[in-house]
Amino acid sequence: MFNDFEINKIRIKQTDNNLLTLEEKILGEYKDGVFVFAKSENYADDFGLQWENFPKTQFDSFSGKNISKARMEEALQSDLSELRDKKVLEIGSGSGRFTEILAQSGAYVDTLDLSKAIFVNQRNNSKFSNKIRFIQSDFLKVPLPKDEYDYVLALGVVQHTPDSYQTINEMISYSKKRGESHF
């Protein structure tokens, strides 16, 4: 099942009270369909508030336009058909406008956001839950394996991080040997 969580072939265990543990250490919790590895308050809180109030503003499926799809096609220089069955790490997903496009394209997506917007994303895209793991975490501290993803995406995000240079270097470290990082 795609929602199982592993780090370097070691499975994270979910306790009866939804805590996520690795080798007896509590890493976070599983809450409302989201793997939570972030502190409850952080510098991205205002983004969560924005997406709580306007959850589908940028969704192509809501607006009837292809603005988000066109933005992703431009970033990837592709018609998105190459995403089918590929592993994608999406950083700073907000309410999930690109998550929706990725899932519709057939990708398997680990989508993460530091803010509570990840819960909005989960509600907006829960119909694709067999293809998506929703993760609330600081990207620089997320417990995911390196060299794992065909694509690492941070569209419109890097400038909002405390250290853009570190963020870009970390993005590259999550890509497979011939993987791609786009921001």
**Helix extents (H) in 54-153:** 60-63, 67-76, 97-104, 117-125
Q: Among 73-87, 126-140, 152-166, name the most confident range.
A: 73-87
Instruction: Locate the domains of the chain by residue range.
Output: 30-182
pTM: 0.83
Q: Which CATH class is domain 30-182?
A: alpha beta
Residues 59-65 have a mean pLDDT of 84
Contact 118, 135 (CB under 8 A): yes
Burial status of residue 1 (CB atoms within 10 A of its CB: 0-12, 13-18, 19 or more):
exposed
Residue 51 confidence (pLDDT): 65
Confidence of residue 1 (pLDDT cuts 50, 70, 90): very low
pLDDT tens per residue, range 68-118: 899 999 999 999 999 999 999 999 998 899 999 999 999 999 999 988 899
pLDDT tens per residue, range 12-58: 667 776 667 766 677 788 889 998 887 766 655 566 566 676 668 78
